[in-house]
């Protein structure tokens, strides 16, 4: 008999957030779609501090256009250049300078790792 798999809540949360950004949705828009009283649950899910109930997770996957559960359970949803560019575009349009700097650093590290260059430390990059 197979053993039940373990899922990394942090990976799922990170991937849910990346998918939301890819769809150019704000947390407030997702909150309204999910008919939640506050956005705290969404932030909790995206931090990986918990998972939505099954029906809520299915609704999120439909909203984000995901038809394969593995999309959110494996790896890093922002590991593709196109998703990084979508995230960057969203941040530019929303004027989110702090989030922009984090995404730029992440994308730069992905680019550098593709060429086997070690991660760039934040003290060497300033996007302010």
pLDDT tens, position by position, 73-88 = 666 555 555 455 455 5
Single out the residue of 9, 36, 24 nearest to residue 87, CA to CA: 24
Query: Which residues in the chain land under pLDDT 50?
Result: 82, 85, 91-95, 117-128
Q: How many domains does the chain have?
A: 2
- The reply to whether 63 and 10 lie within a common domain is yes
- 61 and 92 part of one domain: no
Range of the domain at 83: 78-128
């Amino acid at each position: 008999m197979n053993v039940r798999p373990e899922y990394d809540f942090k990976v799922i949360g990170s991937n849910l957030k990346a998918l939301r950004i890819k769809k150019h949705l704000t947390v407030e828009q997702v909150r309204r779609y999910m008919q939640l009283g506050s956005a705290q649950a969404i932030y909790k899910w995206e931090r990986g501090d918990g998972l939505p109930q099954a029906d809520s997770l299915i609704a999120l996957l439909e909203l984000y256009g995901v038809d394969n559960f593995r999309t959110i359970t494996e790896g890093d949803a922002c590991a593709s250049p196109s998703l990084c560019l979508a995230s960057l575009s969203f941040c530019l349009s929303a004027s989110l300078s702090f989030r922009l700097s984090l995404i730029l650093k992440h994308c730069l590290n992905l680019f550098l790792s593709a060429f086997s260059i070690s991660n760039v430390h934040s003290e060497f990059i300033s996007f302010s």
